[in-house]
Amino acid sequence: MTFLNPAALWWLFLLLPLAALYLLKVRPERHQTTLLFLWEKVFEKKHSAAVFKRLRNWLSLLLLAIAYTAVVLALAKPCFYQINKHRKLIIIIDSSASMNTLQNGKTLFDRARTKAAAIIKNLLPSQQAVLAAVSTDLRIITGASSNQHYLLKALEQLRPTECAMNPDALSFLAKHRDFCPGSRAILLTDGCFRGASKLKAVEMIRLGKPKQNAGIVGFDIIRLQSGKNNEAGIFISCASTYPDNSEVDLVLAHGKIENIVKVFPLKLKKGINKPIILKIENAAAGKWFAILDKAESFALDNVTCAVLREPQPVKTAISASTSIYEMLVNAYRHSKIMELTDKTPEIVICEGNVPENIAAEKYIIFKPENNSIFWKGAGRPQSPQHAVVEKPAHQLVKFCRLDEAKFEEIQELTPPANSVIVASTANGQPLIYKTARNGKTAYVFNFDPMRGDFFLQVDFPVLLGAAVMDLCGKTPQLPAVFKTGSLLPEAVAATFNGGSMLLPNRKIVKYTPDKHLVLPGFYTLMKNGQRLQFAAALLSVPDTLPPRPEFKSTAQPLESGIPVSFILLATALVLVTLEEILYNRRKVG
């Protein structure tokens, strides 16, 4: 046996003054009397009861001493278990979307909280608990504590999310089992996630039973480039646990969920079904919904949403002697990345130098000549050379292989000091760089693409398109819908960092790149007059389909019992009550 609070044992020294109160005797006063023979008869009667009286006082002292000792020992928290054996209990509650499933009038998340509360209430005096929740990431709710009231209050404030479970969030516990020696990690879950076999360091308590469910696990919508009837292509993937050929209606809506565009009857098979590909004529841009019209205990996967975007091509002008650039811009016209214009272009593709007859703020310049605000001293050509990519991760060259091509008409020049050198030659001469001067920005390509065979390679149009998108701040086409719990792409995050984000619940929060999309629905990013709308939905196969049959609870029995301190306090209360009864009997006697 050991004590968790041994300092309380010092209170046992108060037994000494308690014993002194019983052991000290009061000396009787002497008085003169003329009736001594009468008092002698009284003393003879009292003497017969004196022995019993002394025994009764000793019994009273013993009862109070035992009661007081029991109280002190209760304060010292005696423990008859091994202190280091499972002293810390890490209780992890699965707060993913599937835990919102209703079974027998209660959600699985509520059942998990009830089970966690029972574990907390049965903690041993030597144990501490850590409360955590997991969905997209692992959140530590409380530190290690044996205060049951504190733990239960924190447990009551937990809420489920609408995101899929990320098993990698538990990888820390799986990889670093010794980060908390003498601990047990217990996950309360329905098992609707992949990778459970890798979490051997985490014991699992499975909740609920397999559910009958059907849901949408994939959704996409894009504008078709066929050029007729303003068509949009729709991709939908469904999954089901119902028997084969279960009938359900698929509803498509635009703008608002009640604005129904089309209804398609479906016959779902058990498991993941073959994707459905549809074409919708006269499809307006904006918000779109796909709904499975079926009442179920788990409804989060029955409704999904997406944004149909209208591409905004970059208005491009050309000032060059060759028609190859015009051909490339026209090739991009179908994907609506660029379109030719004669008036107010956003960007100018030119050769030699900045044209004086076309006003713009952004330029793409090939085979530079003479002097310019974007370079100095061009005029001495060098021999053909291969490229040395200085920044392989730069979005301009991320999808190009420049090291296989040989570039000609490379000029010896000096770029401005603020230039970003993307590629250079072996002798250090800038080959491709980005620079800005006097409010104008340019990509300078220090070679002639028409010399050699570079203009015949697929890397040339890719390089040109990437330069246009980077100069104009155009990000790659965003998906029509993100999965809940995901982060926005880096390019979008960098553009709107520090701006505002309108959430699906109509709340406005400050946007930072680490902000997860935790709610399904439509979002809007806003910064400096720019706006970007996008959607998020569950789209999770593990949440829609039940866990595999082999997924079973792996948790070992938990130690529990009545605390010794409680028994000691109850004993003290009984002894004090007994002493009170004896005291009253002495007074009556």
pLDDT of residue 324: 87
- Residue 536 in tokens: 């998020």
Is residue 542 within 8 Å of residue 97, measured between CB atoms? no
Is residue 572 within 8 Å of residue 63, measured between CB atoms? no
If you write DSSP's letter for every residue of 160-202 in order, what string do you get?
--SS---GGGGHHHHH-GGGSTTEEEEEEE---SS-GGG-TTS
* Closest by CA position to 316, among listed 530, 459, 450, 472: 472
DSSP state of 145: B
- In angstroms, rounded to a whole number, what is the distance separating the alpha carbons of residues 377 and 571? 99
Give all strands (DSSP E) within 73-140, no chain letters.
78-79, 88-94, 102-103, 106-107, 128-134, 138-140
For residue 294, how far is the Cα from the chain centroid? 29
pLDDT of residue 224: 82
pLDDT tens, position by position, 512-559: 999 999 999 999 999 988 899 999 999 999 999 887 665 677 776 665
Four-point Cα dihedral 174, 180, 181, 184, nearest 10: -60
* Closest by CA position to 120, among listed 145, 138, 141, 99: 145
For residue 501, how far is the Cα from the chain centroid? 18
Can 88-209 and 314-471 be said to share one CATH topology? Answer: yes
505 phi and psi angles, rounded to 5 deg: -85, 15
Relative orientation angle of helices 15-23 and 36-76, to the nearest 10 degrees: 170
pLDDT of residue 433: 95
534 phi and psi angles, rounded to 5 deg: -150, 170
pLDDT tens, position by position, 409-423: 999 999 999 899 999
Give all strands (DSSP E) within 472-586, no chain letters.
482-483, 500-502, 508-510, 521-527, 530-537
Give the per-residue SS3 of 197-231. Answer: HHCCCCEEEECCCCCCCEEEEEEEEEECCCCCCCC
Is residue 480 within 8 Å of residue 221, measured between CB atoms? yes
Is residue 120 within 8 Å of residue 142, measured between CB atoms? no
Is residue 424 within 8 Å of residue 387, measured between CB atoms? yes
Residues 155-188, buried b or exposed e (16+ Cβ, 10 A)? beebebbbbbbbbebbeebbeeeeeeeebbbbbb
- How is domain 314-471 classified at the CATH fold level? Rossmann fold (3.40.50)
227 phi and psi angles, rounded to 5 deg: 80, 10
pLDDT of residue 48: 53
3-state helix, strand, coil in the chain (%, to 5): 30, 30, 40
Poorest-confidence range of 62-66, 322-326, 424-428?
Answer: 62-66
pLDDT band at 507 (very low <50, low <70, confident <90, very high): very high
DSSP state of 367: S
pLDDT tens, position by position, 471-503: 887 666 788 999 999 999 887 898 899 999 999
Residue spans of the domains in the chain: they are: 2-78+566-588, 88-209, 214-311+539-544, 314-471, 485-537
93 class by beta-carbon count within 10 Å (0-12 exposed, 13-18 middle, 19+ buried):
buried
Q: Which is higher by pLDDT, 364 or 558?
A: 364
Can you tell me the mean pLDDT for 205-215?
88
Is residue 186 within 8 Å of residue 204, measured between CB atoms? yes
Residue 588 has pLDDT above 50, yes or no: no
Helix (H) or strand (E) segment spanning residue 290? strand 286-293
- From residue 133, alpha-carbon distances to 168, 174, 378, 551 in Å are 14, 16, 62, 20
pLDDT of residue 250: 94
Can you tell me the mean pLDDT for 272-296?
92
Mean pLDDT (the chain) is: 84
SS3 of 153, please?
helix
pLDDT band at 168 (very low <50, low <70, confident <90, very high): confident
Give, in words, the CATH class of 88-209.
alpha beta
Residue 288 has pLDDT above 70, yes or no: yes
Poorest-confidence range of 133-142, 171-180, 266-275, 477-486?
Answer: 171-180
pLDDT band at 248 (very low <50, low <70, confident <90, very high): very high
Is residue 133 within 8 Å of residue 112, measured between CB atoms? no
How many other CB atoms are there within 10 angstroms of residue 536's CB atom? 27
Long-range contacts formed by 450-459: CB under 8 A, 24+ apart = 450/322, 450/324, 451/408, 451/409, 452/384, 452/405, 452/406, 452/407, 452/408, 453/405, 454/405, 454/406, 454/407, 455/324, 457/405, 459/400, 459/401, 459/402, 459/405
- In angstroms, rounded to a whole number, what is the distance separating the alpha carbons of residues 275 and 262? 18
Q: Which is higher by pLDDT, 54 or 13?
A: 13
How many other CB atoms are there within 10 angstroms of residue 466's CB atom? 20
Q: Rank 234-238, 335-339, 558-562 by mean pLDDT and report only the highest.
A: 234-238
- From residue 448, alpha-carbon distances to 74, 125, 371, 407 in Å are 89, 80, 17, 7
pLDDT tens, position by position, 26-48: 566 676 666 666 666 666 655 55
pLDDT of residue 550: 59
Can you tell me the mean pLDDT for 157-170?
88
pLDDT of residue 83: 44
DSSP-assigned beta bridge partners for residue 72: none
- Residue 152 in tokens: 């239960």
Radius of gyration of the chain (CA): 40
Can you tell me the mean pLDDT for 70-82?
71
Residue 336 has pLDDT above 90, yes or no: no
Architecture of domain 214-311+539-544: Sandwich (2.60)
Helix (H) or strand (E) segment spanning residue 75? helix 36-76
Can you tell me the mean pLDDT for 55-67?
76
- In angstroms, rounded to a whole number, what is the distance separating the alpha carbons of residues 397 and 432? 10
Is residue 376 within 8 Å of residue 370, measured between CB atoms? no
pLDDT of residue 37: 60
99 class by beta-carbon count within 10 Å (0-12 exposed, 13-18 middle, 19+ buried):
buried
> Positive or negative, the Cα torsion across 425, 426, 428, 434?
positive
pLDDT of residue 419: 93
